[in-house]
Amino acid sequence: MVSFLARFKGARTQRNGKQIMYPLLPWRWIGFALSVVVLIAVYVDDVAAWLGLTVSDWHVIRFVPLVVLAILAGFFGPVGYWAPWRIVWRLVPRLNGWFPDINGVWMGTTESNWPRIAKLLEAAQANGAMTQEELQGIPHQDDAIAVQIKASLFSIRISAGLSSTKGQSHSLAARPRWDQYSGRAHLIPNPAG
């Protein structure tokens, strides 16, 4: 089993298996954003009247949420190097403190107990016995791993490759979850069903 640890505020999975990042943002930020949208909806007609324009409640109800969602999707949706939010994050590095840009290729190592499992299987098939000391003497298998992450506020896609097997893995249904003790997000698989 490979566990991946990262310091980022992360995702909850939608029903279609695609991971989304915004649910683990601090509730204060989400509450503040919703309050701003409500204030805009309440006072847009007053501001329009001050500017000499007439805005009906029907237009406010119909278009304010659409404009706010379009701005959010246009700013936070893309994941490329030149995505608007990534440009702002490079210009203002302090923003990485509350929503880090984790995009890129990350190199690491994995540790597998597969050699122990193979020896146990071999001993079971040969009706042989293995002592606990023999089992503990079998070293773990260490491998290099490359993990590519493409993340935005609305999605996170992770693919990984091991050096020993040349195998590729892709995220289907996993989500980061905050560890209450370490303050880090752990990427965990979603339970089936």
User: pLDDT by residue (tens digit) across 59-69?
Assistant: 887 888 888 88
Contact criterion met (CB below 8 Å) for 148 and 105: yes
Contact criterion met (CB below 8 Å) for 60 and 68: no
pLDDT at 87 over 50: yes
Task: Read off the pLDDT of each residue in 76-88 and give the average, rounded to a whole number.
Answer: 84
- Provide the pLDDT for residue 91: 93
Give per-residue pLDDT as tens, 8-40: 333 333 333 444 555 556 677 778 888 888 888
Phi and psi, residue 98, nearest 5°: -110, -20
Q: Which residues pair with 170 in a beta bridge?
A: 159
Contact criterion met (CB below 8 Å) for 11 and 178: no
| 72-76, 114-118, 128-132, 142-146, range with the lowest pLDDT | 128-132
- Provide the pLDDT for residue 24: 59
Task: Read off the pLDDT of each residue in 109-114 and give the average, rounded to a whole number.
Answer: 86
pLDDT at 107 over 80: yes
Q: How far is CA 184 from CA 1, 22, 24, 93, 175, in A?
A: 19, 16, 12, 19, 13
Show the beta-strand stretches assigned E in the chain.
5-6, 12-13, 19-20, 104-112, 141-151, 156-162, 168-170, 174-178, 185-189
- Provide the pLDDT for residue 5: 39
DSSP at 24: G
Q: Could you tell me the pLDDT band of residue 73, with boundaries at 50, 70 and 90? A: confident
